[in-house]
Chains A and B, each alone.
Chain A
Amino acid sequence: MDMKQPVIEFEGAAVTLGERTLWHDVNLRVLPGEFIAILGPNGAGKSTLIKAILGLIPLSAGRIRVLGRTSHRGSTEIGYLPQRHAFDADTRIRGRDLVQLGLSGTRWGLPLPGLRRLWGGDRTARAEAKRVQEVIDLVGAAAYADRAIGELSGGEQQRLLIAQSLVTRPRVLLLDEPLDSLDLNSQQAVSALIHRVASEFDVAVLLVAHDVNAILPYLDRVLYIARGQTVLGTPHEVMSEETLSHLYDTPIEVLHTRDGRIVVVGQPEGVAYHAHDHAH
């Protein structure tokens, strides 16, 4: 473990929004290939933590380093999948174009995706088209990548968005509730896909989740945020009655079902926390 350099380092990091400190004294070292879940009640600051890594939200204390550099906007080393609702049914753009925009969408000037081929393709265009096809194949979206994104199911859209976040060959993947709007089967399939990406390509994954169960078999660690505090550890260390009761400062029951699922009972969901980081 010590041989590897951490890809993300939090050192006493804190975020204050207005009067309220969302979380503070967060220390975290994420190693390449690690799969970490970020859990906690609504409004605890899970999405904010992701945005702080992206450099979209400033810290009030401490620092976050990504691949040895202070976090900043616009890094191609970070793949990002924001929390979102499904695409509008009228979005008349192919999934393939959405993935392609992950490569070319930050470039000024012509050509638009596709136009290049009309003008007698150059080598970058072919290399990019190949790369786009690679990630589409990787997430298993080849069958529907050429259909309008708005016509696809939530699971299909999510796969294409994961493909987009992977297209720049990032070393860090930040996924904000990617399983939220999916049915149970899709949740399991997408979780397995994310795990495969993390281990095969040595990509560190930070995944915000509401329910830990779909990803539980794949997780290396859990970062639990509640009441401004964070706890870090293996899933079973963190998802224990002792840890969570201490964190919430109220008795919490953690049930283990026969099929290996974890159910947390008595957690004061959202109490005294307004959903600041939610749905935006």
Chain B
Amino acid sequence: MTMPTSALTLLLQPSWNPVETLRMLLSYHFMQNAFLAGTFIALLAGPVGYFMVLRGQSFLGHALAHVGFAGAAGAVWLGISPVVGLLVFGALAALGIGALGERGGRLSVESDIAIGTVLVFSLSLGLLFIRLASSYAANIYAFLFGTVLGIRDRDVVVIAVMAALGLLVLAVIARPLLFVSVDPEVAAARGVPVRLLAYAFLLLLALSVAVAVQVIGVLLIFALLVTPAATAQQLTTRPALGIVLSTSLALIVIWLGLSVAYFTDYPVGFVVTTIAFVFFLLARARRGWRANAWRPARIARAGGVR
């Protein structure tokens, strides 16, 4: 073993003892805040992401993240908290996309044109706000890729409250939301308020994006909102298990990402996204392998009894 050349390298060597490693990880206040905020975000992004992927609204989540960029930039220009900008813009865009995508009394928020239009307009608004605020490039960088290591105590509280609120709403609407997501027509006939739920989920998605953007940034938000949920749906077809898996994966991804980034020179966003991506590839490969293994059985069944 070579002697460490400086105190810094000494500090950044992970120990084989997990307790020791954990103690090192949490020895700085900014890391404590990063872990706390990351945990709350994963707890919200996991379940909300599950429904987003199930509903086929990933592009919508992507668009709302870009809207968040405009919101945060606008808030900086006005000198108010970026969270406020994120929330207000996200909610307005969610309602706007809902209204634009509505046809004949029915909400088809999947409407790509409405989403794309709002997305690109938001990006340009963000650009304008940044020019007006004559922001530093560092600020833009923070919006786009997150400021996970710069989270203050107050941010942690705000994130925790928002995540708790989001989870509460989701817990109330979860079952009817699952029903309308899978089978909208039967749900409507059974008296489930399809439109109300569609808008409620849009707002919930906007809230989740607003929470997550603060840590992971606009461009990398899929690492927490989509990839864990998509991975979970590769692994299981049970809704409850899928939500638990999606949330667990989001937690593992953010914890592992923060830890690896702490002990290396790699940016947090890159590490988090890479881990999420690897999980997805593994799950996809497993399902592909299993589908191949099943093929003879399928052929036998198709040719046999109906």
Q: At the interface, is chain B mostly helix, strand, loop or mixed?
A: helix
Contact assessment for A105 and B238 in the assembled complex, using a CB-CB cutoff below 8 Å: no
- In Å, the complex CA distance between A120 and B207 comes to 32
What residue in chain B is nearest A189 (Cβ atoms)?
A: B306
Q: Chain A interface residue count: which class?
A: 35 or more
- Partner of B237 from the list A78, A106, A148 (CB cut-off 8 Å) is A148
Of A1-9, A94-102, A236-244, A266-274, the stretch lying at the interface with chain B is A94-102
Contact assessment for B172 and A109 in the assembled complex, using a CB-CB cutoff below 8 Å: yes
Cα distance, A200 to B91, chains bound together (Å): 52
CB distance from B187 to the nearest CB of A (A): 6
Interface residue B174 (Cβ < 8 Å from any Cβ of A): yes
Q: Which residue of B178, B237, B243 contacts A147 across the interface (Cβ within 8 Å)? A: B237
A111 at interface, CB cutoff 8 A: yes
| Interface 1/0 per residue, B227-263 and A, CB below 8 Å | 0000001101111111100000000000000000000
Q: Which of A92-145 contact B (CB under 8 A)?
A: 92-94, 97-98, 101-102, 104-115, 118, 143
Cβ-defined partner of B191 (8 Å) among A74, A110, A115: A74
> Which residues of the other chain, A, contact B236 by a CB distance below 8 angstroms?
92
Measured in the bound complex, the distance between the Cα atoms of B286 and A193 in whole Å is 37
User: 6 closest A-B pairs (Cβ-Cβ)?
Assistant: A74-B191, A105-B179, A114-B240, A82-B185, A92-B233, A115-B240
User: A98 with B174: in contact, given A56-B188, A114-B238 (CB under 8 Å)?
Assistant: no
Partner of B175, one of A80, A84, A107, A186: A107
What are some 14 contacts across the A-B interface (CB < 8 A)? A56-B189, A73-B189, A82-B186, A92-B234, A92-B242, A97-B182, A97-B239, A98-B182, A105-B183, A106-B192, A108-B172, A113-B175, A165-B186, A185-B306
Q: Does A230 touch B at the CB level, under 8 Å?
A: no
Residues of B within 8 A of A155 (CB): 306
Task: Bin chain B's interface residue count.
Answer: 20 to 34
Closest to B301 in A: A143
How many residue pairs between the two chains, A and B, have CB atoms under 8 Å in the bound complex?
114
A38 nearest CB across to chain B (Å): 17
B174 touching A101, Cβ below 8 Å: no
User: Is B243's CB under 8 angstroms from A106's CB?
Assistant: no
Chain B nearest CB from A159 CB (Å) reads: 10
B192 touches A105 (CB 8 A): yes
A88 within 8 A of B: yes
CA distance A81 to B238 in the complex (A): 23
A109 pairs with B187, CB closer than 8 A: no
Does A257 sit at the interface, judged by CB under 8 A? no
Inter-subunit contact B56/A88 (CB<8 Å): yes
